[in-house]
Amino acid sequence: MRKQKNIALVAHDNRKKDLIEWIRFNKKKLRNHLITCTGSTGVLVEQELNNDTLGHQLMVKKMKSGPLGGDQQLGAMIAEGEIDVMVFFWDPMSAQPHDVDVKALLRLTVLYNVVTASNRSTADFIISSHLFDEDYETRLKDYSSYIQRSIDL
């Protein structure tokens, strides 16, 4: 993981306001990294990150909205090693039409050892860590024995 992180920012509708508030507070630090978002969250994030006089405009890579496949697009990026950190402000109190996709996305973050925050406190701890702005060697678990067991069956 290089000094400049690839960060995925995602929020369910009832948590978008919370994510934008967190971005506003951490804007200066986030502008040093590459940002990818799902759907409408990406539009809001890009507006917030560029809503100041800090200089250059930051482009946010926008996937489809979560229910239209955006979660799966992010999952593919995680599997390809293209995401280092994911901040996903999900709404635990509302059923989502794409809950299965959300669960799969979170499973991939664990599988590929991606730094993941699902709430404000964890996101604050992550972004305030000295590791956030440094190179970091990610260690991946070797799951080849699981694959071999499947083949042997």
CATH number assigned to the domain comprising residue 94 = 3.40.50.1380
Say which residue the tokens 């050892």 belong to.
Answer: 113
Say if 82 falls within a structural domain: yes
pLDDT at res. 92:
83
pLDDT at res. 140:
87
As for how many domains the chain has, the answer is: 1
Phi then psi dihedrals of residue 34, to 5 deg: -95, 130
Domain extent for 144: 6-152
For the whole model, what pTM was predicted?
0.89
Could you report the per-residue pLDDT of 83-122, keeping only the tens digit for each?
Answer: 999 999 988 888 777 788 889 999 999 999 999 999 999 9
Which residues, other chains included, contact 1 with Cβ-Cβ below 8 Å and sequence gap of 6+? 84, 135, 136, 137, 138
Say if 16 falls within a structural domain: yes
Say if 115 falls within a structural domain: yes
Q: What is the CA radius of gyration of the chain?
A: 16
Q: Are 91 and 84 in contact (CB under 8 A)?
A: no
Q: Are 42 and 63 in contact (CB under 8 A)?
A: yes
* Average of per-residue pLDDT across 43-47: 94
Say if 1 falls within a structural domain: no
Average pLDDT of the chain is 90
Q: Report the catalytic residues.
A: 71
